[in-house]
Structures are given as C-alpha cells and as structure tokens.
Amino acid sequence: MRRYHVLRISKTYDEKIPLDNVLRLSFSKIHISSVSIYNPNFQKEVITKKVMNNYQKLLKRLTFYLETDDETGTAYQEALNEIERFRLLIKNKYRAYMLEEQLKEMGKTLSLLQKKAKRKLQMLQHVNIVQQERGRGGK
C-alpha cells in the first residue's frame, strides 16, 4: 500500500476542517481508488456528508418515481426497493457515524414516502382488479 502526504489542509478558526474545501493530495499520474482517513471526527464529518448527499439524491429519485403515471406499478415497486436498500445500507454500514436526530428525520421521511408508494401500488392493483372483473362480466 502506498502512502501519500497531504500538501495543504484548510482549517477554520476553531481548528475544524470544512467539508466544502477540497483536500489537496499530491499524486503523480497514479489512479487512486480510495483514501483512508484516520481521524475519527473527520471520518464522521466526511461520511455524514456523503450519506446526506446520497439521501438527497434518493429523495429526488423517489419523488420522480412517485409522480410518474405508471400503469404497471414498476415505478412504485422500484421506489419501495430503493427505500429498503437505503435503510439497510444506513443500518449496516453508516449508523455509527450518524447523529440520532439525522437518523430519526431520515427515517420519518422515508417511512412517509414508503407509505405513499405502498398506497399508490395498492390503489393501482385495485384498479387493475376492478378493470379485469368488468372485462369478464361484459362478455
């Protein structure tokens, strides 16, 4: 494993590393797949920011899925799958790095979206059953 030295870290007046500043690393034409961070506080900040970015992207995808007029229900099923996948990822991998308030807020929002997707899926299935019964009775 190769080790690299950080050239410069921007710090604020209270010695915290702001996440909006990029960590400048010196590499000479080498492809880096991962960077290890050994400071636990900095790990928490970086991981929290990464999870929150993924959460915001997930919310955008879920709103897109729930606003579609899909007659087959695949968009709603995909929304439910995405919610479950994200919850498992947080539970198994990132729970130790997140604040309890953030986890509760994310959980509430995801459960509301999950209920909405389930309700729309059930309504769609009910409409399909009613249409099939009407089709059979008319013949």
pTM: 0.67
Residue 80 has pLDDT above 60, yes or no: yes
81-90, 98-107, 125-134: the lowest-pLDDT one: 125-134
Contact 6, 24 (CB under 8 A): yes
User: 86 versus 132: which is more confidently predicted?
Assistant: 86
Residue 25 has pLDDT above 80, yes or no: no
Mean pLDDT, residues 53-77? 90
Residue 42 has pLDDT above 70, yes or no: yes
Mean pLDDT, residues 64-69? 87
Residue 134 has pLDDT above 50, yes or no: yes
| Residue 135, phi then psi, degrees to nearest 5 | -65, -40
User: 115 versus 10: which is more confidently predicted?
Assistant: 115
Quickly count: other Cβ atoms within 10 Å of residue 43's Cβ.
14
Identify any residues that bridge with 13 across adjacent strands, giving them in sequence order: none
Q: How far apart are the first and last CA of the chain?
A: 73
3-state secondary structure at position 6 = strand
Six token digits for residue 122: 């059930």
Rounded CA separation 21/88 (Å): 30
Q: Give the burial string for 73-93 (b: 16+ CB within 10 Å, else e).
A: bebbebbbebbeebeeebeee
Mean pLDDT, residues 78-102? 91
Residue 89 has pLDDT above 70, yes or no: yes
Residue 4 has pLDDT above 80, yes or no: no
